[in-house]
Amino acid sequence: MTHASSLILLGPQRKSPRVREALDRLGSSKPVALIAAGWEEREPEHAELEQHLGQTVLNLEPYRRGEEVLAGDRELFDAMQERHDELRSIQDRYRLRLAHALAASRELFALGSEDPNTADDLEGSLEAVRVLDDSHLTRVAEVHARFEERYKLAGRPLIRRHRRELLALLAKTEVVCVAGGHVAILVNRMRMFGLSDMLSGRPLIAWAAGAMALSERVVLFHDSPPQGAGDAEVFDSGFGFARDIVCLPHASERLQLDDASRVSLMARRFAPALCVTLDPPSKLAQTDTGWEERGPSQRLLENGTLKRMEAAC
């Protein structure tokens, strides 16, 4: 089977399901594999998706499998809790430094760009934010590497058994769907079972948090959270299937897209990656030449405006 695109990203699917259209584009009639760990306890509830697709869904259930592993491997349970606490502490300190760095960028942006010195200072402040983001991801990666080296997940009996079962299920499928939900849980469970390696070379459809997990870096964002103004923050490296893109599900609800300073600073901060809105109707296909729009998505521009995604960019 030949695929014009092997990766399709969608917005949230609850109110505007488009998975069927994406599956039709890929052209597979085999059962569809589902990764829905981000749904947590709701992970088994795939009947609605199966009805929408009109095809059998083989639910890989990495969340349930992860709970089973942790219940049966106390050493690993304690180690993962310790890692979680360490990562949370690292994220808290990064968030504190980020708030000050972005505040400086916003103040410089407000001065305007007519003065070349101010423009240079703004670029310098944004470069400091980029360095902070990159160093944070490096620290997080080091924590994961040390954890894997010490506990060697692939060799632990319970995980080894589940990985064999996952490979057997995937052998019956072609297309894999990665659903949304809680992105941290989704990334955690996919990493636990080595699912990114199992998905290599397969056609993928991902939506909302699933799209975030498959990108090169997971960026958390909300301009107006309950506790006050928020800053977009890098959380972890993603699995790198979706290249050169920062996925922004529910962007129209979570971002102040009419605030030119916020739009501009986010676009410039993460360039050359495209910051792309993934609201419910969105549909993007990754091609050899870039991202091809199949549903209304917008990219954030460095001038503070938004632009409808083009055929390929």
> What are the phi and psi torsion angles at 111 (to 5°)?
-75, -15
- Say which range, 7-16, 164-173, 190-199, has the weakest mean pLDDT: 7-16
Q: What is the mean pLDDT of residues 234-261?
A: 95
Residues 54 and 244: their CA atoms lie apart, in Å, by: 33
Burial bucket for residue 51 (CB in 10 Å: 0-12, 13-18, 19+): exposed
Token readout for 6 is 């092997």
The model's pTM: 0.92
- pLDDT of 112 above 80: yes
Token readout for 155 is 């060799």
Instruction: Give the model's pLDDT for residue 1.
Output: 30
Instruction: Give the model's pLDDT for residue 25.
Output: 87
The DSSP symbol for 188 reads H
> What are the phi and psi torsion angles at 219 (to 5°)?
-115, 120
Instruction: Give the model's pLDDT for residue 4.
Output: 42
Beta strand pairing call for 7-10 and 32-35? unpaired
Q: What is the mean pLDDT of residues 169-182?
A: 96
The domain tally of the chain equals: 1
What is the Cα gyration radius of the chain? 20
Give yes or no for a contact between 61 and 43, defined as CB atoms under 8 angstroms apart: yes
pLDDT in tens, 62-111: 999 999 999 999 999 999 999 999 999 999 999 999 999 999 999 999 99
Conformation bin of residue 244: beta by default, left when phi > 0, alpha when psi is -120 to 50: left
Q: Cα 199 to chain center, whole Å?
A: 15
Say how many C-beta atoms besides its own lie within 10 A of residue 71's C-beta.
Answer: 10
pLDDT band at 309; cut points 50, 70, 90: confident
Q: What is the mean pLDDT of residues 34-54?
A: 96
- Say which range, 5-9, 134-138, 162-166, has the weakest mean pLDDT: 5-9
Residues 292 and 283: their CA atoms lie apart, in Å, by: 9
Instruction: Give the model's pLDDT for residue 76.
Output: 98
Instruction: Give the model's pLDDT for residue 228.
Output: 58
pLDDT band at 292; cut points 50, 70, 90: confident
pLDDT in tens, 259-278: 999 999 999 999 999 999 99
What is the amino acid identity at position 153?
A: L
The residue segments making up the domain with residue 257 are 1-39+46-313
Which CATH number characterizes residue 60's domain?
Answer: 3.40.50.880
Residues 234 and 200: their CA atoms lie apart, in Å, by: 24
pLDDT band at 311; cut points 50, 70, 90: low
